[in-house]
Amino acid sequence: MHGQRCHGSCCCYTKVQSRIVCFSGRKCVFNKGDQTHIIITALLSSGGTLFRGYCFLLCLVLFVVANLSAEIPVIPFAAPSSLPNVDFRMKTAGYWIARHPYPDSTIMTSDQIQEFNHKIHRRSGAVSDISGISTRYSSKSMNFRIQKQFRATRSMKYVDSLGSAFSEKFWTDLETNLNLQSAGKLSEAKRALVTSLSSQRVFPTSDGCFTKVGDIEFDEWQNSGMDIGTPLICYQTTQDKQWYYCASSIDIGWNPVSDIAICDEQAWQDYIKPQEFIVITSTKADLWMDRNETVHAGFTRMGNKFPLLGQTEHQYLVKLPMRNTQGGCEFITGYITKTDAHPGYLPYTPRNALIQAFKLQNEGYGWGGSNGDWDCSSMINRLFATFGINLPRNGGFQEKAASAICTFTSKDTPTFRTEAIIDKGIGGICLLRMEGHIMLYIGSENGIPYALHDVWGYRTPNKPAADNVWVINKTVVSDLSLGAGSQKGSFLTRLTSLSILNDQ
């Protein structure tokens, strides 16, 4: 995906090499799959004009033919700071609140949200009440699940961060470390809490896995980013004792042992069901281990909650889980600045939803919640967590969890889609879904619907060559014309549904 531009005036491309070599001697590499690359250097520093002319034509023909028969990775561009049809005034929550028909109406009460969470579980099947999950499990069934996923993944043509296929030794070592047991006995899982920002992985390895060469921002084995205090059920460890196979309320995968602390049942239940708690309302909030805020315990992200122990004029005192030297859980008093949190969940109103959403504007894109950031679906998940709404992790399940207002087919025209969204959409509480992406609908202006979403990039046409790719890599306000004219089409024409997060 990420190649290097060739600046030479005359280039020769050979299919076997998948490389361009400038006659000036400058080599420009275009990695292509996992082919064997042979570098040929062509230097034409002498020779007649006629000879150079023939060579130029030959090279041009070879270049065109190779482009027709082989996919050369697209060189992405940095997207402009202001996207098409987005006025700078649109980049604040107030702009959309002022245009909302009822910004302060309560969409759901706390009791209605609890019932809605039960509906989410029934509709999507992707969210569980982790407090009610038994710790007794069949190790045979669990190992079958892990092994099935391993075998399916091994059969796919993934590459590592250097663009090479994974070796047989890598797969053998990984399978051995999975520590699979064939015994059919019942086993006892352990309750745990995350004690530092943790990346849950599909397999117990930090090695990246990618679908194509150069696609390094999309690690297929990155499952989810987990904040301090996330409750887990840990089923088994790897052979090297460095990873736990863990389930949260929305995900299951492998977490580093060093990121979690094992708890006894009562302490774990008390932590996840406190009588009083605060919810994080800033994008990222610092956690402190002392009142003077000099000993840093890390940070936590929007939507996370902590048991409340007390408060000062400027701080909330919270219960903070820590991992001791034996891997057990100990609790200390942590300190969070009051401007970063709210006592209990926020009231669920369009105003609050838009205010929270726009706090996330310009926050970086992190596939699978990597590097402490968000992707499109984790942004939606964390946003609505501030109201106590427990959405699934992935956009497809979030679409199922919400109540459908409109579903779109390939036969629906852009005009029909636009009119349906404007007529039936409600800013701040509606979701726009397309394959591989989900967005928050924020309102319309001059007959154009707008969304706030965490997005990696979009395409524009570059016929007859491949589309240009524009990298945004953050949360932005945009209309739905992104991608118009490209081979994939605009966001508007790719939409599959408009849905609403309420108790309909």
DSSP 179-217: -------EEE-EEEEE-S-EEEESSS-----BSSTT-TT
- Same structural domain, 328 and 238: no
Nearest Cα residue to 333 out of 322, 347, 319: 319
DSSP codes, 349-380: -HHHHHHHHHHTTTPBB-GGGGGG-B-HHHHH
> Rounded CA gap, 305 and 334, in Å?
13
* Residue 180 β-bridge partners: none
> Rounded CA gap, 303 and 199, in Å?
17
* DSSP type of residue 35: P
Give the CATH number for residue 287: 2.30.30.40
- Same structural domain, 220 and 202: yes
Which H or E run includes 410? none
Spatial contact of 232 and 251, defined as CB atoms under 8 Å apart: no
Report the pLDDT value the prediction gives residue 127, as an integer from 0 to 100.
86
3 state SS of 176: helix
What length does the chain have? 504
- Same structural domain, 131 and 258: yes
Structure token pair of residue 94: 């107030």
- What is the number of domains present in the chain? 4
- Same structural domain, 42 and 63: yes
pLDDT values of the chain reduced to their tens digit, one per residue, 504 residues: 443 333 333 333 333 333 333 333 333 333 333 333 333 333 344 445 554 555 556 555 555 444 444 445 567 899 998 899 999 999 999 999 999 999 999 999 999 999 999 999 887 778 889 998 999 999 889 999 999 999 999 999 999 999 999 999 999 999 999 998 755 678 999 999 999 999 999 999 999 999 988 788 899 999 999 999 999 999 999 999 999 999 999 999 999 999 999 999 999 999 999 999 999 999 999 999 999 999 999 999 999 999 999 999 999 999 999 999 999 999 999 999 999 999 999 999 999 999 999 999 999 999 999 999 999 999 999 999 999 999 999 999 999 999 999 999 999 999 999 999 999 999 999 999 999 999 999 999 999 999 999 999 999 999 898 999 999 999 999 999 999 999 999 999 999 999 999 987
Structure token pair of residue 399: 């679409």
Domain hosting residue 315, numbered range: 274-343
Q: What is the pTM of this model?
A: 0.84
- Same structural domain, 149 and 213: yes
- Same structural domain, 393 and 488: yes
Considering 292, 311, 343, which residue would you say is the last residue of a domain? Answer: 343
3 state SS of 296: strand
Is 486 within the bounds of a domain? yes
Non-local CB neighbours of 490 within 8 Å, separated by 6+ positions: 414, 480, 481, 482, 483, 484
Report the pLDDT value the prediction gives residue 204, as an integer from 0 to 100.
98
Considering 262, 287, 317, which residue would you say is the last residue of a domain? Answer: 262
Spatial contact of 252 and 180, defined as CB atoms under 8 Å apart: no
> Rounded CA gap, 361 and 476, in Å?
6
Structure token pair of residue 209: 């896995």
